[in-house]
Structures are given as structure tokens and as C-alpha cells.
Amino acid sequence: MKTNSAPSTAAKDSDLAETGTNDNTAAIAAVAAALIAAGGSTALAVRRRKTRHAA
């Protein structure tokens, strides 16, 4: 993971908010996609298991 050690110039010079992207955005999106896929797979497996036992 990359860290930004350079201080922000916006905070020192004015009262403007600091803008830009967060370096963690891609990692957070990947984890979110993996959790969604895992949840979908679990729901599908439970549904299939219930249909097999009901027949």
C-alpha cells in the first residue's frame, strides 16, 4: 500500500478542503467486490441446498 508522506499545501495556505483521490480506493473496491461475490455465492448455495432437500 502506498502512503503519501508529502504534507498538503491546501491546509497550510488557506481554508480550502483537501481534494484528490485516496490511494486505498482500488483496494476498498476490490474487497467490496469480493464480499458481494461471496455473498451471492452463499445465497445461491443455500437456495440450491433448500431445493434439493424439499424435493
Distance CA 25, CA 40 (A): 22
Task: List, in order, residues 6 or more apart from 38 with CB less than 8 Å away.
Answer: none
Q: What are the pLDDT digits (tens) for 5-52?
A: 655 554 456 787 777 766 888 899 999 999 999 999 999 999 998 887
Global confidence as pTM: 0.53
10 and 16 Cβ atoms separated by less than 8 Å:
yes
Q: What are the pLDDT digits (tens) for 17-27?
A: 777 766 888 89
